[in-house]
Amino acid sequence: MSRPICPKCHYPLKACLCESIEAMQVSTELIVLQDPSEVGHAKNSVRLLELVIEDTQVYVGEIPDDFMQLRQRLEQSVKPVYLVYPSEQSQDVESVSFDEDVILLFLDGTWRKAYKLLQLNPWLQDLPALHLDIESASNYKIRKASRADSLSTLEAVAMMLKAIEAHQEVAPLTNALNAMVNQRIRSMPASVRKRYE
């Protein structure tokens, strides 16, 4: 028998996060390319991102055909488009000046899956890329990461918005993530919970 789900946040009722969700508006257009394996993942931060910033656009897929509609729309856009992905060619977002509203593309998945998305979609590699100068560890401690500079997609969005829109308050994003992390830790058996506290 399936667990009852909250109709608003779509998390199980006993893990409902509605009280921790504060909607916010941003000027930057946010687009997430999501690996299919992330869609049903209980710890997926993109679901939270969509609750806080309703205008977030999520495209699920792996190969260029999956993103054909998105590619056509981006080609017609007058806004500058950036891929958020660290590479030898990417620029530190702090070193770029943004004189107009932009579109940011994020790859949602593990490092391995995000890299696979990038390799399967050469059109992404044609976009100018941005990266963050990570100073503090991720607070997304309920998921394992293979790299010390790993961030959840929601954290990456929050940090990018803060860098691009200097006066943008990103607390609604970080508060929602903290609420989910704390809720997950509280639901763990005591012996497991000690590893995270």
Structural domains in the chain, CATH included, are 24-194 (3.40.1280)
Q: Please state, rounded to an integer, the average pLDDT across all residues of the chain.
A: 84
Q: What is the pLDDT of residues 143-157, one digit of tens each?
A: 444 444 468 899 999
H, E, C per residue of the chain: CCCCECCCCCCEHHHCCHHHCCCCCCCCEEEEEECHHHCCCCCCHHHHHHHHCCCCEEEECCCHHHHHHHHHHHHHCCCCEEEECCCCCCEEHHHCCCCCCCEEEEEECCHHHHHHHHHHCHHHHCCCEEECCCCCCCCCCCCCCCCCCCCCHHHHHHHHHHHHCCCCCCHHHHHHHHHHHHHHHHCCCHHHHCCCC
Which pLDDT tens digit goes with each residue over 12-38?
788 888 888 999 999 999 999 999 988
Predicted pLDDT of residue 116: 95
Is residue 140 predicted with pLDDT exceeding 60? Answer: no
Closest CA to 187 of 13, 14, 48: 14
What mean pLDDT comes out for the span 65-88? 95
pTM of the model: 0.84
Tell me the C-alpha distance between 74 and 72, whole Å: 6
**Per-residue pLDDT averaged across 164-181, rounded?**
89
